[in-house]
Amino acid sequence: MKYFHRSVLPCLLSSSLLLVTSCSLSNDKTKTDSNETAAYSYLKQLVSPTDGIGAREAGTEKEQQTASYIKAKFEKFGYRVTEQNFSYNSRKMIGESKNIIAEWGDATKPTIILGAHYDSTAMKTGSMGATDNGAGVAAMLAIAQALTTKMPNNYSIRFIAFGAEEIGLQGSNYYVNDLLTNNKLDKIAAMINFDTIAGGDKVYVHSAHSQPYDDCKSETYNSDTFMRNALLKASIQVLGEQNKYVIHPDYEGYPEGVTGSWSDHASFACAGIPIAYVESTNFSINGQNGYDGYSQSTAKKLWTCYDKKNSTACDKKSEKNWGNIWHTQFDRLDKLDEIFPGRVKQQLNNNVEVLIELLADPDKYLHGK
């Protein structure tokens, strides 16, 4: 992420409406609690250095271990799982990684992809990749688990865990190039990217930038906003107006609601596939390079000194931390839960519930595209 700057107990029937309503609410809460427990449990298994895998840098045994973990989970849920192996030569790094692809249902139907990269970076700083991007993978697994009984009739849902994102989007680039080479793009309706979806002050949903990304090599670039808008509608349905996904306002270089090319969505947008990108950060902070979303939080512990009045550092020359979580010593679950009690778990749960709502019935939210 941003590696360069630009169970439910049966209810007894009752003639009392109050009892029936209470029972229904109890059922809904139990389902929500179950999804929340699953996502947070997966996150701990992925990022805990003592009880889980921990840091998962590209090219390491830990990255391979993570791929095996993800594959085993998808297979346990009942998905058809494929390993897509690839080699890379990037930033003086030569190595091998793989994408884990999970599908259910008729692959000839229009396909919506939910993707999240599973490698991490900055282990030397103490980062365990909790927000970047253990959270995205954990939520994706919980969504996949829940959807086994809620698959839509008119769409195929494909989950992809991308390898080696942190060293140049290697996994997603390889996957999209393979689609292009084998003429398999026509069935891809849209791609949703989960990267750093928990930890920041707000949860945003973006579309691709209105201007083609610099690395795009064709004329098929797609900046359509329909999937972003669909996710926004689903978030309102699930979370209400007060807690819905945020569309960031206009900032220099970043028109309203758009994002840069720093994560796996870029490969798809360049190939002409509409995307939506979910991330937790804080675009209202005037960070080290302006209002670009790199400063994820105003939390005091993430700054040398934060100027609340002006939404920036007290002293830009001496500021060291800039409210950053990803790629820092703060990107580990124990520290995030200490700084933001309950936040990561709640944001995980919210994202899981929103995506279940959308992917279980895409037509409900996409027909107005």
Residue 241 lies in a domain: yes
Residue 3 lies in a domain: no
- Which has the minimum average pLDDT: 4-18, 86-100, 145-159, 305-319? 4-18
State residue 51's pLDDT score: 95
Residue 186 lies in a domain: yes
Q: What is the DSSP letter of 164?
A: S
Instruction: Give 300-326 as a DSSP string.
Output: GGG-SSEETTTTEES-TTT---TT--T
Q: pLDDT tens digit string along 257-277?
A: 999 999 999 999 999 999 999
**Domains: count for the chain:** 1
Residue 267, SS3 per DSSP: helix
Residue 8 lies in a domain: no
Q: Taking the CA atoms of the chain, what radius of gyration do you get in angstroms?
A: 20
Q: Which among 282, 250, 115, 293 has a CA at the least distance from the CA of 188?
A: 115
Residue 158 lies in a domain: yes
Alpha-carbon span 166 to 57, nearest angstrom: 8
Q: Which positions ≥6 away from 147 have C-beta within 8 Å? A: 104, 157, 356, 359, 360
pLDDT band for position 178 (cuts 50, 70, 90): very high
Q: 173: domain CATH number?
A: 3.40.630.10
Residue 269 lies in a domain: yes
The stretch 32-41 carries a mean pLDDT of 72
Residue 17 lies in a domain: no
- Which has the minimum average pLDDT: 5-19, 187-201, 327-341, 348-362? 5-19
Three-class DSSP labels, 107-129: CCCCEEEEEEECCECCHHHCCCC
Alpha-carbon span 290 to 252, nearest angstrom: 8
Residue 16 lies in a domain: no
pLDDT band for position 217 (cuts 50, 70, 90): confident
Which structural domain, as residue segments, surrounds residue 337? Answer: 28-366
Alpha-carbon span 224 to 229, nearest angstrom: 10
The stretch 231-254 carries a mean pLDDT of 96
State residue 36's pLDDT score: 52
**Other CB atoms within 10 A of residue 367 CB:** 9
Q: Which residue has the higher pLDDT, 151 or 15?
A: 151
Q: pLDDT tens digit string along 127-164?
A: 999 999 999 999 999 999 999 999 999 999 999 999 99
